[in-house]
Amino acid sequence: MKKNILLILLTLPILNICGQTEWGKAEKNQLDVRVCPIDSNAKGMVIYDKQTINFKIDNRELHTYYKNYKRIQILKKEGFDLGNVMITANAKDAIFNVEAQILNLNEKGVVIVSKLDAKQIFDEKVSDNVIAKKIIFPNVKEGSIIEYSYTIKTERFRFLNDWYFQSDIPTLNSTVVLRTPYFFQYTALLKSKYDISDQKAEIFTEKWPSYFLGMGSTGQAEVDVQGTAKTFTVKNLPALEKEEYVDCLEDHLARIEFVLSKRISPNGEVTDLAKSWSEILEELTKDPEFGLLLGGVGAHIKEAKTITENSTLDLDKVKSIYEHVISKVKWDKRVRLLPRGNLAKIYSDGFGSSSDINMILVDMFKAAGLESDPVLIRSRYRGKVQKQFPDFSQFSNLIAYVRVDSNDYFIDGTSTFLPFNLPKYNVFTSSGLRMNHKKVEWFNVGTNINSVAKIFLNLSMNAEMKLAGKGMIQTTDYESSNIRSMVSDKGIDEAIKELFYTNKEVKLIDLKADPLIDIYKPLRTSFTIASDKSYSGEDVIYINPFILLHREENSFKLKERTYPINFAYPFTETINVSFTIPDGYKVTDLPKSTKTEIEGGLVSFTFFVENIDKVVQINTTLTVKEKDISSNLYDAVKSIFEKLQQSYQSLIVLEKL
């Protein structure tokens, strides 16, 4: 407790010092700060980050203006790169009024403000869709404060840009102000583990063109319009540290989203602007460039009928069509939501984007008499779908849905090595919307199929007292497809080297895998174990039987993790070792069996050891039953993975008789 009081006493003055947020103003002692009050290791900190959003008419068009001001302090030499700033926007938008300056102390301890000239602010067309302004701050030192302001103007106003309170360095104060005239009503959705420390609403009045409000007949060019400025502030946010097993890190940054939900006319009439998902689906299914592409004619329709005419089971039809399409139409690595055009032509060309291929699948399933529709999905790196904000632009990809015998299947024809019932786990988020105008239907397109990876090791000592034996890796589902895909790219030796970890004392030779095309069968990879290390003449021998591992180290290292663990799919990993004790030796020490689990077996680890006659049997099993695990369970999961790693260090101790 005393420590805590001391920490508060020590950091309070710094927090006060850092409180100066006025453009161009800083006290001398603020520039002396070298340690972030909420993270002593930080290379820099955001002192203040503010965005004001308002709306204006330009050239008779409504525009949204994002006015930004950001102040960052550089704390260590490693933070000098924070002096290189890139502001990006959609290529259709404009970035303007860019101003930047740096605050430093001169030799006499006086605060000097140096404004950047235009030559230090560079325009860049990053790609066809993105523009940028790059600011290269000069004279960056430890203690420097850099600050910059700019405005982004866009014609988009329904879905406003998300405001991120948090970033990869600590943030002391992050504020967003939404200034809306009375006739716009936005819904705010806060996604933050950190509380809003300051929230207020203030009434303002501003001029608007009368014609825009349908009041042109009043004869006035402009009329006074009342509005509300809503302010949201979050303070003292730590940097978000990245760790393995996360779906989309940005999704876990504290942020707020705004969506225009209602418009109110001068006479008080309220129009609900939000389209429903039902309306969106109606439009999409009747769009000639999208939904109406289905149900056409062409070679793929004929082929669907031909290859399924002898199938009596619907699931066989699905399988046949899927296998035909993945071998006939090559995925060109593009992820698209909209197909490029006529599906028969794409089929005939033999290549296509994700959308092209999956629309062909749907069309062929339908032609074979199956219930099928596209399912709209969102790329994983873009974060989760916001179901409460109906908007087509939330999606970026589609897969095929087919219903057979009351079972739902989600099919993605862009992978050569996945069975039809396993969509790619690492590409899209789990929520998908069925593209069918009759009913709004959301699916969880992720799978709960448990993928298994088993390692079998049959070890003994050969005549030269070297470790030897046979082994096999047997995998199912995603675990199989990972190996198949890697073997196809790099060959079996390289694939096993990359996906598994071998003890340096042994070599795996004569690696052989089942045929890669048998994607519906478990994959077996067999090998011979050889070692150059001889224990000949040793009185006591230590053997680490874990010569092949699923994972080399504990991926969980953070002291605290504020976002959930995403394992991508449920899995079971086992290692079964059977070690034959060499003649003339006895076992003098063995590790002990243990079992650990959390939440009724959500994640569990068992370690079983048994010695019967001349054989030592050691089995480990790691089971993860759910792919998503709450951050509340982080410590428990971390501890289980730690135990797993410790078990891999176990030794069989043999002593000469």
Partner 1 sequence: MINKHCILLFVFCWQVSIVFSQSFSVLTIPDSLLEHADAVVRNSTTEIDVKSKNSAVYKLDATVSILSKKGEKNAFVQLSYSKMMKIKSFKGEVYDKFGKLVYQIGKNEAKDYSAADYSEITDTRIKSWSLNKSVLPYTIRYVYELELDGLFVLPDWQPLDFGESGQNLKLVLSDQNDLIKCKTTALRNPLSENNKKTWVIDGIRALPQLNELELNDVELPEVKLSAKVYEWYGITGNSNTWSEIGNFYHSLNNERVQVDLTIKNEVQKIIGNEIDKSTIVKKIYSHLQKNYRYVSIQLGLSGWQSEFASLTFQKKYGDCKALTSLMRAMLSAANVKSYEVLINTNISARSFDYNFVKQNFNHVILVVPLENDTCWLECTSDLNPAGYLGSFTESRTGLLISETNSRLISTPTYNETNNKIGVKTSLNATDIKAQNEVVSYISSKGELQDDLRYALSRLPKNEALLFISKFEYLKGVSNIQRIDNTVIDSFKPITSFSISHIPPNLMKSQGSRIFLQPSLFDPIGNLIDIYSDYKFNSSIRTGFEFTDTLDILLPQNIEPETNLMTKQFLVESDFGVFKSEVYFDQRNNNLQIIKKFILKEQKVKQPDLASFKIFLEDAKKKLSYSLVFKTM
Residues that bind partner 1 (CB under 8 A): 41, 77-78, 80-81, 83-84, 86, 120, 122, 124-128, 134, 136, 138-141, 241, 327-328, 330, 332-334, 349-351, 488-489, 504-505, 532-534, 538-542, 544, 553, 557-558, 588-589, 649, 651, 653, 655
Helix axes 477-490, 492-499, angle to 10 degrees: 130
CB of 349 to partner 1, least distance (A): 5
Query: Which residues, other chains included, contact 402 with Cβ-Cβ below 8 Å and sequence gap of 6+?
Result: 318, 362, 365, 370, 371, 372, 408, 409, 411
CB of 597 to partner 1, least distance (A): 24
Residue with the two structure tokens 């370690």: 607
CB of 207 to partner 1, least distance (A): 40
Comparing C-alpha atoms, which of 392, 186, 187, 412 is closest to residue 279? 392
| b (16+ CB within 10 A) / e for 344-381 | bebbeeeebbbbbbbbbbbbbbbbbebebbbbbbbbbe
CB of 128 to partner 1, least distance (A): 6
CB of 218 to partner 1, least distance (A): 49
Output 34 or 557, the one with its CB closest to partner 1. 557
Output 313 or 509, the one with its CB closest to partner 1. 509
Task: List the helix and strand counts (H, then E) for the chain.
Answer: 10, 37
Output 358 or 476, the one with its CB closest to partner 1. 358
Comparing C-alpha atoms, which of 160, 112, 164 is closest to residue 139? 112
CB of 541 to partner 1, least distance (A): 8
DSSP 98-115: EEEEEEEE-TTS-EEEEE
* 140, 143, 149, 152 alpha-carbon torsion, rounded to 10°: 80
Output 102 or 254, the one with its CB closest to partner 1. 102
Output 138 or 298, the one with its CB closest to partner 1. 138
The Cβ-side half-sphere exposure at 560, using a 13 Å CA radius, reads 4
Query: Which residues, other chains included, contact 278 with Cβ-Cβ below 8 Å and sequence gap of 6+?
Result: 437, 440
Q: Say how far residue 508 (Cα) sits from the centre of its chain.
A: 35
CA-CA distance, 556 to 553, in Å (whole number)? Answer: 9
CA 20 vs CA 14, 28, 29, 499: distances in Å: 11, 11, 11, 52
CA-CA distance, 412 to 380, in Å (whole number)? Answer: 15
Output 4 or 129, the one with its CB closest to partner 1. 129
CB of 141 to partner 1, least distance (A): 7
The Cβ-side half-sphere exposure at 576, using a 13 Å CA radius, reads 10
Output 458 or 544, the one with its CB closest to partner 1. 544
Token representation of residue 337: 């939501």
CA-CA distance, 342 to 362, in Å (whole number)? Answer: 14
Output 235 or 328, the one with its CB closest to partner 1. 328
CB of 557 to partner 1, least distance (A): 5
Output 234 or 326, the one with its CB closest to partner 1. 326
CB of 615 to partner 1, least distance (A): 22
Query: Which residues, other chains included, contact 26 with Cβ-Cβ below 8 Å and sequence gap of 6+?
Result: 20, 103, 111, 145
Tell me which DSSP letter residue 41 carries: T
What H or E segment, with its residue span, contains residue 596?
Answer: strand 594-598
Output 390 or 545, the one with its CB closest to partner 1. 545
CB of 333 to partner 1, least distance (A): 7
Output 22 or 349, the one with its CB closest to partner 1. 349
Output 32 or 493, the one with its CB closest to partner 1. 493
The amino acid at residue 118 is A
CB of 460 to partner 1, least distance (A): 19
CB of 87 to partner 1, least distance (A): 12
Tell me which DSSP letter residue 159 carries: B
